[in-house]
Amino acid sequence: MKIGYIDTSVLVAMAFDDAGGSFIGRFVKTFDRLYSSSLLEAEFFSAAAKENRLDDARQFIRPVRFIYPDTNLTDYHEQVLKKGNVEGSALHHLSCALYLFQQPAEVFFLSLHPTQSSLAAALGFQTDFM
């Protein structure tokens, strides 16, 4: 089973055909399951509103299974930050992925942000999809 954690940058690229969005979309469709933090939903709908694309926003988030950690993520934040610094939203996505996946090597972390991707790789996630 092919599993991925997807961040907002990838969904935005797919929805608005930015940064090779068509190619990325074909790759993302090969996954059996996609997960993300509920933060993706807010970030994506905000981007869709800016692009006047709210009408078709739901179709892009439909395949994503959202996770809602039932605990604080402090230990995961610290684990990420030991590998390098990153902005808050990227930290949240990385920490949620670590919370969800005990074996990161079995999961793709899908992001178009170079720093976030390099930290995901340093944490053991697969990141090479381009």
Q: What is the pLDDT of residues 8-51, one digit of tens each?
A: 999 998 888 776 777 888 888 899 999 999 999 999 999 999 98
pLDDT of residue 26: 86
- For the chain, the C-alpha Rg in angstroms (whole number) is 14
Residue 64 contacts residue 39 (beta carbons within 8 Å): no
User: Over the stretch 89-127, which tens digit does the pLDDT of each residue have?
Assistant: 999 999 999 999 989 999 999 999 999 999 999 999 999
**Quick count: other Cβ atoms within 10 Å of Cβ 67?**
16
Domains of the chain listed by start with CATH number: 3-122 (3.40.50.1010)
Query: Angle at the Cα of 77 (from 72 to 83), degrees rounded to 5?
Result: 165
Concatenating the DSSP letter of every residue in 52-115 gives T-GGGHHHHHTTEEEE--SS--HHHHHHHHTT----HHHHHHHHHHHHH-S-GGGSEEE-S-HH
pTM listed for this prediction: 0.92
User: Over the stretch 45-79, which tens digit does the pLDDT of each residue have?
Assistant: 999 999 898 888 888 899 999 999 999 999 999 99
